[in-house]
């Protein structure tokens, strides 16, 4: 364990964890938009920036990307400098996604609501380019998404903007998107996403649609997977274990 100081409080943290993780264990909230605990951090939104003092030098780092390696590190998660930086970032994100409720809440928190510059916003909501959907898609094994174009034209797309051959319609991208930008619709046993249509599998116990057939086949390596949703599977396993204990 390493002794560090966060916001004036001494604490002991495991070597190698990030400042963001350490702050979380201390109940200190640092805002993020491109961070997910199950995926590698990319630092693309920079909202989690904090100030550190190390060997007498102050500097700004991204807390999601900064592993704590040495004792004596001092972290300041919020001060005027950080407030200014985060306010600027929130303004930039709002330019891309002006109607997103979580960004609007951050704007209120940082006192930047009703700034004159907001009047010139185009009201078109766009992706904030956090990259979470791409990472989630890679983690699922599909790698069907990537960034295309540059500057203002930059966006997330499937290869050549065509329906992807590797997309299984799992919907992880839509679920993880922090501004609900990705369109996914489930209707009458069919899922529409990224220009593709997927039939949804029905759970044999509860009867609910729960996944696409392609997603199940990719996850199980079986073209004829068992049609059982996660909840019913857990209940069935618990029942079998319970039965085993009772009769064993
Ligand atoms: S579509 Fe959503 S998850 Fe993907 S990069 Fe844009 S904002 Fe992030």
Name the residue at shortest CA distance from atom 3 of ligand 1: 177
Domain ranges of the chain: 1-126, 132-243
Nearest Cα to 43, choosing from 61, 64, 17?
Answer: 64
Of 39, 46, 149, 182, best ligand 1 pocket probe by most atoms within 8 Å of the beta carbon: 182
C-alpha torsion angle, residues 162, 135, 172, 33 (rounded to 10): -110
For 119, the enclosing helix (H) or strand (E) is none
Tell me the pLDDT tens digit for each residue of 178-199: 999 999 999 999 999 999 999 9
Name the pTM for this structure.
0.88
193 lines ligand 1 (CB under 6 A): no
Give the contacts of 143 (CB within 8 A, at least 6 positions apart): 137, 166
Q: Which CATH number fits domain 1-126: 3.40.50.10490, 3.40.430.10, 3.40.449.10, 3.10.20.740?
A: 3.10.20.740
180 alpha carbon – ligand 1 mean position (Å): 8
Task: Report d(CA 174, CA 163) in Å as an integer.
Answer: 16
Residue 123: predicted pLDDT: 64
Q: How far is the CA of 182 from the centre of ligand 1 (A)?
A: 7
pLDDT at position 242 is 72
Distance 149 CA to ligand 1 centre (A): 15
CA of 130 from ligand 1 middle (Å) equals: 5
Nearest residue to 4 via CA among 75, 60, 61: 75
Closest Cα to atom 4 of ligand 1: 133
CA-130 nearest atom, ligand 1? 8
- Determine whether the shortest distance from the Cβ of 182 to ligand 1 is under 6 A: yes
Q: Which of 47, 127, 174 to mutate to test the pocket of ligand 1 (most atoms within 8 A of CB)?
A: 127
95-142 pLDDT, tens digit each:
999 999 999 999 999 998 755 455 444 567 889 999 999 999 999 999
User: What is the number of H-type helices and E-type strands within the chain?
Assistant: 7, 11
Compute the distance from residue 34 Cα to the ligand 1 centre, in Å.
Answer: 9
Average pLDDT (21-27) is 96
- CB neighbours (10 Å) of residue 242? 10
Indicate if the pLDDT at residue 227 is higher than 80: yes
pLDDT at 209: 97
Could you tell me if 133 and 177 are in contact, meaning their C-beta atoms sit under 8 angstroms apart?
yes
Question: Of 159, 171, 156, whose CA–CA distance to 218 is shortest?
Answer: 171
CA of 147 from ligand 1 middle (Å) equals 10
């Amino acid at each position: 364990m390493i002794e560090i100081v966060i916001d004036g409080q001494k604490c002991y943290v495991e070597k190698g964890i990030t400042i963001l993780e350490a702050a979380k264990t201390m109940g200190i909230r640092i805002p993020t938009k491109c961070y997910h605990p199950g995926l590698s951090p990319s630092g693309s939104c920079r909202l989690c920036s904090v100030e550190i003092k190390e060997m007498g030098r102050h500097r700004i780092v991204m807390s999601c990307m900064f592993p704590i390696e040495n004792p004596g590190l001092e972290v300041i998660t919020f001060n005027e400098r950080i407030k200014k930086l985060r306010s600027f970032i929130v303004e930039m994100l709002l330019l891309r996604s002006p109607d997103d409720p979580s960004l609007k809440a951050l704007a209120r928190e940082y006192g930047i609501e009703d700034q004159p510059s907001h009047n010139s916003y185009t009201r078109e909501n766009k992706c904030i380019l956090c990259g979470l959907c791409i990472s989630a898609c890679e983690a699922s094994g599909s790698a069907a998404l990537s960034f295309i174009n540059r500057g203002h034209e930059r966006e997330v797309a499937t290869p050549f903007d065509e329906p992807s051959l590797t997309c299984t319609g799992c919907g992880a991208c839509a679920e993880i998107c922090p501004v609900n930008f990705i369109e996914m619709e489930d209707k009458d046993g069919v899922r529409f996403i990224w220009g593709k249509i997927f039939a949804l599998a029905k759970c044999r116990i509860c009867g609910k649609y729960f996944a696409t057939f392609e997603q199940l086949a990719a996850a199980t390596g079986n073209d004829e997977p068992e049609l059982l949703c996660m909840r019913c599977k857990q209940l069935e396993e618990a029942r079998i274990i319970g039965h085993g204990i009772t009769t064993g």
